[in-house]
Structure 1
């Protein structure tokens, strides 16, 4: 009825304009796109919704006809059919409704009591999973634990209620009890199966009240009808087997689910072990170096080893891999006089952190310095290249390496004052901390098998994709990232003063979306640029149009543009810097000669 009332949204420019919707993730599958194309016309879509409304009214009528099963399947099927057609407005309530309609529809059409019981058990187990997973995920969030979640939601325009928000502020202790009560109900929902069914009514009453409150306060009306449709199956399956209403109930679905769960856990463990092996193995040409902290760093080299051109040393960002630089490293390794070195920080890929001391960013700076001194021949200078957090690490390392550094290239780098001065960075810091912590925890529990393959990964060169995916589904990367981010927050929030002057020339390559969405970030980049000796000459700040923080490396077009800017920098600023240094050396020689002659006279 909503869609029929808002049918103008099907017109060009509307929220459900098919010319826009067909670009959604659901419509990428060719089969889904063809089915959706068949119903994308406005008249066909309206006719389907009218038929859905008529069938829904029929299901509200009394009766036990098998046609009710067909009607439920029709509603579930057309919901799936129209999913891509209506990208906006589909959410958890639609998914639950489809699940219940599909399972109960099949149960009504089946003549086998065993099949019917299996389907009802399926819905009941989904209900338990829905509540328990939601509760435990909430419990991981700091806002639910400290009882700030409810006031926060009530303040929003989309789901908020000014009156309820004021009540949460007036009665904070009651608000805390309500939130922790919701957490307890969801986390402990599977307890409905203990005590011979005596807990069923209290739990279902609490869950039903929760959905009714959401419906009236947050405007989630369809949640108020969708989720309680799970409850009859919970009641049916929690009743003692001796109860007359469930006499003869077939409970083998529980044992089958337990066997499938055990098989899934075993498969997840096997996949995790296999991926861990891929991660630790590295590449055929990978080597290791041990740093002063005892950490083992895995690195790879390429390019012209016999050349005297500076060696490019790449330092990756937070929860990132050295393979993120692959478009750029391959460009310089194959089409320039430069050699390249890329490595994984301690804890990433095949690198191992042996240090037992509390972690600080200076440890990673020490490791980078030790790597350069051990791997790069003494007669060759280095150009340090860092992305994101890697940019801050190379800045600090440059001061340690002194005249061995020919230049620095920052790729959308971090700035030590960004958490203090950028509202966008500060607001995102807490969410990033929780995301990394959750990923580290869940992957340690073996859930890597459930992790979907991100779109950006398939934009990397093909030879690197599987290795990067293995790293991203391995807990080691996220555990190392968690350790690093804690240090970043601690040190960046304590940063005072200005960035120390840097003798080597520097180039900052910024992503357009970074500077467009956060003007303060551009000011920070200007400060970083002015700290370099060549500020205002050939280095400075360059912006890659259309790129964002990640696609600057992962998208071939943006990465090649960045490589081109780097090549210009290497060919001009560094040459000029060497020339200037030579001129200064000649001037000093002339000055000393004049002094000697004056002394002789």
Structure 2
């Protein structure tokens, strides 16, 4: 326990000294400017915010770190008194309090040090030997969990399986090392052996407990060497002391009970931990099953339609509307639910006489992909065309509204539907040339991320997911259904399939967009999207220019993000205002002459 305390103290000492020597980061505009960093506490309770605000002033923060340095130095000295427990608890408590203060400078090593300090500090102070052993077992089990989970998660990713991950990390500016990167390129076989060796070490770390602990020393020695390498090559110096601070407790708990050094050790924490694990697995499975049922059953008003590809589409008729008015069909984006349209769909139902329909593409919600052929983007276009022809009365026209990739599907469907289209609204739409334009290259393949998430969720890890902020902005009665889809593997698998098809399709695009004659077009962009890539604004303009012989309009919603156009009530209302105004005023617009208009919406424009 003393070795663990000293290694954890060395980690905290290094951390506090780094902060004290870089106090300028706490100044106005610095990396640790509390006026900016405190935004990370928005969702915390008032009590937590008050406590952390109380220690986050520059002077108070400095005093606490000076105190931490003094305690760390004391913890490094010889001794075995109960006061060491007080010191460890002080370091653990101040780490927890100052963690949000240094939100943009902390790392996993600080969390590990805090875990060890709280456990060993409490073990020093509690009188019960059984409680002491339970606390030491807690740290040891956490160590096994951290290595094992990290290894198996890496195994889900292709870069670790094909051994390209090591070279990929070493070539980065933040964590890379030029010499090590060159070595991986010059010695690919050795680099592959090293990468797979790291994977084996992490995945099989619990082997330290086999054969009465005879494998403990080589396992923890390999792990310690791994962290020393992280410190040298990746600049993660605190890792060299933080994670090894758990190793002495792994050694203590893996030794056979016949060993004199652990005589009388209480191991009841192990069956208790496995019982909790079994309960957690049962809860995870039960939650996954319940969410899958909630996802696939839809709403009580859900309907289904079978397309030419044998896909079964689940759709909702929010409102049938006036039989003489068009029907609005809302197409969602990639990895997005039809519930994301809740704000817009509700207003269209209450403030217009349009019919309103939302639907889930094949693989989303209760829609099922039954097609036996490889997936291409044209399949989703055909499904949308079949939905319009099957769910909308033949005499009624259709207004297609598409967000992100849904906008591109709507554009292509309009080329097929012809006279049935009353108009199209593109909401921060994709453009088939976006991967070929400068500044619009894909930073990293999302397909791998979608695959990893799908696999992880199939293992029942959805119970660990937090509700995304975007889903939390939807109307209350839609949030549970949307989150159930987000936490279900089916949607991630559908997104992976669609993303690959989008990449393959868009990368082959060359030439002009197909002309849509006589169909009005409304193009709405999110300001954050066009700020990040001005080229996107030009492509959105091209979507409007593809509509000939009919009124078009472009608009930018100031302050809105790509997803915020739909889920944020304020921005969704602005979008709905534009849609109602544009299509409600088509008769007057059709008489207008001159160039198309470009409108930038200010924050107060639609109050």
Q: Retained in 1: the 8 A contact 2:375–2:497? A: yes
Q: Which residue matches 1:174?
A: 190
Q: Which residue matches 2:547?
A: 532
**Take 1:575 and 1:368, find their aligned partners in 2: how far apart are those partners?**
30
| Offset of residue 217 of structure 1 | 2.1
- 1:505 aligned to 2:520? yes
289-298 vs 400-409, greater mean Cα deviation: 289-298
1:522-563: CA deviation from partner (whole Å, max 9, x where unpaired) = 2322332222114xx741432111111111111111111111
TM-score by length of 2: 0.91
SS at match of 1:496: coil
SS at match of 1:507: strand
- 1:107 aligned to 2:120? no
| Offset of residue 381 of structure 1 | 0.5
1:463-499: CA deviation from partner (whole Å, max 9, x where unpaired) = 2111111111122211221222222222222333332
Q: Which residue matches 1:416?
A: 432
| Runs of at least 4 residues off by over 6 Å | none
| Offset of residue 305 of structure 1 | 2.6
Greater percentage in helix? 1
361-370 vs 260-269, greater mean Cα deviation: 361-370
Q: Retained in 2: the 8 A contact 1:76–1:97? A: yes
| Offset of residue 577 of structure 1 | 5.1
SS at match of 1:301: strand
Structure-2 change in CA distance of 1:89 and 1:280 (3 Å): same
339-348 vs 190-199, greater mean Cα deviation: 190-199
1:205-241: CA deviation from partner (whole Å, max 9, x where unpaired) = 1111111111122221111110100100111111122
**Take 1:100 and 1:144, find their aligned partners in 2: how far apart are those partners?**
29
| Offset of residue 370 of structure 1 | 1.4
**Take 1:32 and 1:13, find their aligned partners in 2: how far apart are those partners?**
24
**Take 2:265 and 2:108, find their aligned partners in 1: how far apart are those partners?**
30
**Take 1:161 and 1:247, find their aligned partners in 2: how far apart are those partners?**
46
- 1:120 aligned to 2:136? yes
Aligned length: 576
| Offset of residue 26 of structure 1 | 7.0
- 1:567 aligned to 2:567? no
**Take 1:11 and 1:519, find their aligned partners in 2: how far apart are those partners?**
33
177-186 vs 161-170, greater mean Cα deviation: 161-170
Structure-2 change in CA distance of 1:222 and 1:579 (3 Å): closer
Q: Which residue matches 2:569?
A: 556
Structure-2 change in CA distance of 1:203 and 1:462 (3 Å): same
| Offset of residue 38 of structure 1 | 1.7
122-131 vs 10-19, greater mean Cα deviation: 10-19
361-370 vs 443-452, greater mean Cα deviation: 361-370
- 1:483 aligned to 2:510? no
**Take 1:197 and 1:70, find their aligned partners in 2: how far apart are those partners?**
32
SS at match of 1:120: helix
Give matches, 1:286-305, under 5 Å.
Answer: 286-303=302-319, 305=321
**Take 1:319 and 1:273, find their aligned partners in 2: how far apart are those partners?**
20
- 1:543 aligned to 2:556? yes
1:493 maps to which of 503, 507, 516 = 507
TM-score by length of 1: 0.92
For structure 2, list consecutive stretches of 5 or more residues without a partner in the other structure: 1-16, 594-607
Q: Which residue matches 2:283?
A: 267
Q: Which residue matches 2:362?
A: 346
Q: Retained in 1: the 8 A contact 2:92–2:113? A: yes
Structure-2 change in CA distance of 1:452 and 1:365 (3 Å): same
| Offset of residue 95 of structure 1 | 0.3
| Offset of residue 301 of structure 1 | 1.5
Give matches, 1:400-415, under 5 Å.
Answer: 400-415=416-431
| Offset of residue 444 of structure 1 | 1.0
**Take 2:414 and 2:79, find their aligned partners in 1: how far apart are those partners?**
79
Q: Retained in 1: the 8 A contact 2:322–2:353? A: no
Q: Which residue matches 2:537?
A: 522
**Take 1:568 and 1:158, find their aligned partners in 2: how far apart are those partners?**
49
200-209 vs 284-293, greater mean Cα deviation: 284-293
SS at match of 1:426: coil
2:487 maps to which of 449, 473, 476 = 473
| Offset of residue 45 of structure 1 | 1.8
SS at match of 1:419: coil
